[in-house]
Structure 1
Amino acid sequence: MHIKNPGYWLTALILALAVQTPVSAHPGGVNGEGCHTNRKTGEYHCHPERVKTTAAPASIVSEPALPPATPIPAVPATIATETPVTPASKILKLDYQGFTVWLDCSKRGPTKFRYSAQRDSGNFKRYPDFFLDPNVPAECQQTSTKPYGHGYDRGHQVPANHLDYSDVAIKQTNFMTNILPQTQQMNRGAWERTEEIIECYRDIDELLVLGGVIWGDNPADDFFIESHGVKTPDAFWKVIIRGTGQDERAIAWIVPNSTDATKKNLDRYLVTVDEIERATGESIPVADYAKHDKPSNSWTIPHGCNKG
């Protein structure tokens, strides 16, 4: 059939070039998609039944992939949370190596802590620097690791010395999630004396130590809201439990965060476990008969005890 209209052939040529593939059309043959151009009619059409199935190139054949390796962090990751962080509940439970801290996100500070003090078997040294916990949301932490100033120390809730069997644990005690403003007199006085009692008695009995914060409402000493994002607690509490069964004993203190809280004044702050439960709403895991006992004096430091 003779087609006089030259535009027909121009259209057919453009169509053929537009669909050209790396496998060229040829009489009777098809390209990689199973298609070709009928040279007699100029029609481009396909034959799906003539598509050849080819093996995958050797270059993409490989052995089954191994599962990805688990990265080993420099410091074991923080395990959080006890409850999800929601507007109604903003407490993170942080399980560090050898101790646990409950972090109040709304206050950017620890609200309570717990650990077992066992026989002293280590001598790792305390870190000179303080750190933010890389695994805790920034909005739950203090905004700086710098010293507080104004006569306040970066006070530990859980002391490094009681975890000196582990370099990792000692470093984690210097996370700011374990630190709050404590007056120098209190931190190096009455609070430190409670730590010395634990240091000495852990070689006699395994001890369960619990403690926490009484925040209060005293804006006059809230010097660190702008610099660190944290308020200054009014007081701190601590309970030491030793023995089991009928031999279970406990001692407890509520220590004011004041310049008067020196070592010689520690006995002034003795309270019953029951008083702490009523003041904080916490449930202390000690026998009922021991909750109402208050010794007349703090436990005596045994002669020759190495408090270091």
Structure 2
Amino acid sequence: MKRNCFFILGAALFIATASCNNPSKIEQSREALRQYAAKENKADTRQTKKLKDEPAKTQDISNESLASKVNNGIMLNRTAYTVCYNAKAMLPHWVAWTLTSDHVNGKYSRGGIKFQEDEDVPAPRATDADYRGSGYDRGHICPSGDNKWNEDAQRESFLLTNVCPQGHNLNAGDWNEMEQQCRRWAERYGKIYIVSGPILYKKKHKTIGRNKVVVPEAFFKVVLRLGDDPKAIGFIYKNEDGNRPKGDYVNSIDQVERITGIDFFPTLPDQLEQSIEATAEWGDWE
């Protein structure tokens, strides 16, 4: 930028000097200045485009940077995911993880692993007994099926800070279908970023168990892919029975942010973030 300024200043001085002596040299100098300015403007445009495009193609985002921290949330970094934990509700505010094509298969299945209370958060906290006989499933937020690639990751997915009370038909039905869809996307695109969690929109909530674990009214999931064609898509599921096409649950990231109060993908360049969060089309992912 300094080089440009010096050239332009020098040219201006040259024109001023020449104006006293030779009109033809004035016009030649002006034309040279116009050509140089056009060349530099074109180079600056290319550089700006390069800087705009590079983050979408190369930037890798840490799990804890995929969503804003919620006030009073306790941050827990695990092998495969990060939790922002809501101690009052005994649920996650959100869980964020990166799912790659290498993660969707593996030898570490869920067989024999039991749900465990998470001793990294203060008591009172959710226990397995709170769910027993409640009529609700222990619904994974970061699913077991995304963690077959690593033994510790699989075991940690059963910590109750990664779990919410979820209706069985949702857990085994449409929610499970979306989990499988995300694994297909990871295989197709190589890597996707996911943030998911409960939605608490009522002032008074149903609870389960001795510890009064809050039952969410709904759940959200947002998915981001980068690369050459960055896109993001959001989903909202009520915590009730349903058997609907996946596209019926689609929301833009902006809509999910308005409902949850959470800022997703805040480390992306502003222009890119605004573009991919404003709209969402199921067809862009099919």
- Say whether the fold is shared (TM-score over 0.5): yes
| Cα RMSD, aligned residues only | 2.4
Answer yes or no: is the 8 Å Cα contact 1:130–1:145 preserved in 2: no
> Secondary structure of 2:248's match?
helix
Residue 249 (structure 1) aligned with residue 231 (structure 2): yes
Answer 1 or 2: higher relative contact order, Cα 8 Å, separation at least 6: 2
Alignment counterpart, residue 178 of structure 1, candidates 151, 162, 167: 162
Q: Given the two structures, how large is their TM-score scaled by the length of structure 2?
A: 0.66
Answer yes or no: is the 8 Å Cα contact 2:113–2:155 preserved in 1: no
User: Which residue is 2:80 aligned to?
Assistant: 98
How many Å separate the matches in 2 of 1:211 and 1:100? 11
User: Which residue is 2:98 aligned to?
Assistant: 116
Residues 236-287 of structure 1: CA distance to partner in whole angstroms, max 9, x if unpaired?
111111123x610112101110113x3x343222111110111122222163
Residue 190 (structure 1) aligned with residue 174 (structure 2): yes
Structure with higher Rg: it is 1
Residue 142 (structure 1) aligned with residue 116 (structure 2): no
> Secondary structure of 1:203's match?
helix
Following superposition, the deviation at residue 196 of structure 1 comes to 0.6
Q: Percent identity?
A: 24
Answer yes or no: is the 8 Å Cα contact 1:157–1:212 preserved in 2: yes
Alignment counterpart, residue 260 of structure 2, candidates 277, 280, 293: 280
How many Å separate the matches in 1 of 2:282 and 2:182? 18
Structure 1, unpaired ranges of 5+: 1-87, 301-308
How many Å separate the matches in 2 of 1:151 and 1:265? 25
User: Which residue is 1:162 aligned to?
Assistant: 146
Which stretches of structure 1, 4 residues or longer, exceed 3 Å deviation after superposition? 143-151, 296-300
How many residue pairs get matched? 208
How many Å separate the matches in 1 of 2:203 and 2:172? 22
User: Which residue is 1:294 aligned to?
Assistant: 280
How many Å separate the matches in 1 of 2:79 and 2:167? 27
> Secondary structure of 1:201's match?
helix
Distance 1:289 1:187, change over 3 A: same
User: Which residue is 1:216 aligned to?
Assistant: 201
Following superposition, the deviation at residue 146 of structure 1 comes to 5.5
Answer yes or no: is the 8 Å Cα contact 2:164–2:198 preserved in 1: no
How many Å separate the matches in 2 of 1:217 and 1:181? 16
Following superposition, the deviation at residue 135 of structure 1 comes to 2.6
